[in-house]
Amino acid sequence: MLERIIVGAGCFWGVEAAFGSLAGIVQTQTGYAGGWIAQPSYEDVCAGSTGHAEVVELHVDPAIISFNELLTHFWAMLEPPASPDPQYRAIIICSNAAQLELALASKLAQPQLVDYFVEFGLDLPFYPAEEYHQQCYRKWRDRFERRSKAV
């Protein structure tokens, strides 16, 4: 049975690409969560009027990748100092209390992130992003690779 978790750690394009490349991640979908407006648009989120973060919904096969392994990848993705832009904040939204307990304990075990604020939530609403924000790395891989080689 698949598990679901929602994570945010900056621009959802990069987060989706990073997690989507892991064995055991069956499906990814970019979207918005953690705010107070239903069905926000990208423009609304960018304007800062919704409270939402850019996030990625992950459907995970726990027989292939454990929740703790997934968290290890999440912590490695964070680069203090955190972005001051709330749409890019670090956030973990768990589907159940057991996941939340593991996520909180895992954060406490990250001494390098002691001063890094991470928002935790339980079963908060997820709103899918517009289609043009889905699977961007896969759609535009050439553009991403050209940029990384140019730097």
Query: What is the set of domains in the chain, with CATH numbers?
Result: 3-150 (3.30.1060.10)
The pLDDT assigned to 149 comes to: 47
The pLDDT assigned to 141 comes to: 63
The pLDDT assigned to 151 comes to: 37
41-60: b (≥16 Cβ within 10 Å) or e? ebeebeeeebebbbbbbbeb
Extract the residue ranges of the chain whose pLDDT is less than 70. 130-134, 136-151
The pLDDT assigned to 148 comes to: 42
Q: Closest by alpha carbon to 15, among 142, 143, 139, 137?
A: 137
- Burial of 148 per CB tally in 10 Å (0-12, 13-18, 19+): exposed
Q: Which amino acid is at 103?
A: A
The pLDDT assigned to 140 comes to: 61
Cite the DSSP H helix spans in the chain. Answer: 12-20, 42-47, 67-77, 97-108, 136-139, 141-150
The whole-model pTM stands at: 0.88
Establish whether 11 is a catalytic residue. yes
* SS3 state at 26: strand
The pLDDT assigned to 133 comes to: 58
Total residue count of the chain as it appears in this document: 151
Q: Which of 11, 46, 94, 136 is catalytic?
A: 11
